[in-house]
Structure 1
């Protein structure tokens, strides 16, 4: 038996997400620590504030670490962790690769770089109902030198995300419909993440993370840009840096977790989108989202399903 913690990324943020976290001393302590690390920015979770990619990514990091610490305070720790896009940073904290302060500082830097690289004219759209080969053909048909588009995220076999210029994404609607897509919807993300357009951001993040000490992993970490199990902190840091400019292979992450014997998926707040994907991929496996589940119940399930002899480190995750 094995427990995997899943950390959602940008696009899942919602107003009030930090104030709706479990009422646990570890959550209060984490929010207070975040305020000390990034004064004035870490607790902003209004609709207006979360329109900023910087604020949204910081809030997601705070939420993920706070939830992990609350579960750890109840004796519930994971056997593996995986984060979707910006969720990779709280996952790296849970794995022991980053301290909370290092993660918050890196996430803020990442958000600033992304915002400044493409302040307008770009975005992302989810496409439902097309396979990866079909989507690639559609993307090729709508791409021009002035208006590029890229396959940015493979969430499931039939749920994909395209990144690119506004005019290319406008052409995506009709082209995807002709190819048989059920739906195309623009996401609340103002930058073209997970594609070569952010290559310079990835380079800058690699430079930023180069000073982080190489620490042994407390639990295995699955890289969302590789879809593979990473056991070396250097590989995790490279995944954190390069992931912003490479396709997210979340379908592969969830599939591999199943192959590794995961018997319980636990998604940290906000929302339950990753839990829904895990449930669809592994219908016989127990899946819970902390946003929909009492903390005590989630902790009990985690303690029951953990690997015998698994790591017991934690109540001070990320300190």
Structure 2
């Protein structure tokens, strides 16, 4: 069994998608459709930058999705590899869950782009710049990270945001609490704490205003039926019901990204290979979660062609 997985924020870089767009009409069509949906030349920012524009949350989120879906469309249109035929399920990391849902037909490409643009804007607006922060805890498991976050909070918000793999957990909350946590890492036998260059504290309770905005947006544009099950971030469980998924996408804004548990759940359900589309972040994480899992990350035309030959 095979899972197709979709990367989250941080996987963006200037030049993303340029090679695919040059080589494939299917990829070009994705980028053009996203540009039209947003009334914005996002593809130009992806191709040429500047970097500070691409890393803006409201641009990064739809850009990462567009690149992943372009990779999928090349696989489908140019090499005849249909997702529903060759995959058993899908999953995505944070915003990648929207990419996954687009890939299996729950949202149109245009709606996915608009939802992610709004999600990025809402997340940025939820907490004034400078009041929130996030930090990666390296060499930390979930138990150590949770204990550290609890100790560092001191009445402020300090939540576990991402349980990525057995060696990396991300915390999020008030800037003061996150800085205290970083200073305390050695006391909790954690190798290192690194403040992340993010503009807002994602996946913590401070994001509630953004969750409220996404609840309204998803009520107006709810997910439809999808062709493969999705493993949801906040439950790390298999979902097939669009109404359930709609509620989980709202919870996801403030909730923990349970990626380690999601991968373990997919493995327990029989997934043997994980195929990352449009990034090279999740594949290595999967390898750290389960060394016996096969992984492949697809970005270039050469990588896509090699993969298509292997499974075609």
Per the normalisation by structure 2, the TM-score is 0.91
Q: For structure 2, which runs of at least 5 residues remain unmatched after alignment?
A: none
Shift of 1:92: 0.7
Q: Counterpart of 1:31? A: 31
Q: Counterpart of 2:2? A: 3
Structural RMSD (CA): 1.7
Tell me whether 1:75 sits opposite 2:80 in the alignment.
yes
Runs of 4+ in 1 over 4 A off after TM superposition: none
Tell me whether 1:124 sits opposite 2:113 in the alignment.
no
Q: Counterpart of 1:295? A: 304
CA distance in 1, matches of 2:19, 2:173: 33
CA-to-partner distance for each residue in 1:142-193, whole Å, 9 max, x for gaps? 1133x42111111112310000122222212221122111121222321111
Identify which of 95, 112, 115 aligns with 2:121: 112
CA distance in 1, matches of 2:262, 2:102: 18
Quick one: structure 1 residues 260 and 118, their matched pair in 2 at CA, closer, same or farther if it must change by over 3 Å? same
SS of residue paired to 1:265 = strand
Shift of 1:217: 1.6
CA-to-partner distance for each residue in 1:232-290, whole Å, 9 max, x for gaps? 111222222220110110011111111122222111113x1200011223323321101
Q: How does 1:177-196 map to 2 (within 5 A)?
A: 177-196=186-205
**Quick check: 2:12–2:64 contact (8 Å CA) kept in 1?**
yes
Q: Counterpart of 2:15? A: 16
Q: Counterpart of 2:291? A: 283
Quick one: structure 1 residues 214 and 133, their matched pair in 2 at CA, closer, same or farther if it must change by over 3 Å? closer
Relative contact order (C-alpha < 8 Å, sep 6+): which is higher? Answer: 1
Quick one: structure 1 residues 79 and 244, their matched pair in 2 at CA, closer, same or farther if it must change by over 3 Å? same
**Quick check: 1:10–1:189 contact (8 Å CA) kept in 2?**
no
Q: Counterpart of 1:309? A: none
CA distance in 1, matches of 2:20, 2:57: 20
Per the normalisation by structure 1, the TM-score is 0.89
Higher relative helix content: 2
**Quick check: 2:138–2:168 contact (8 Å CA) kept in 1?**
yes
Aligned pairs, number: 300
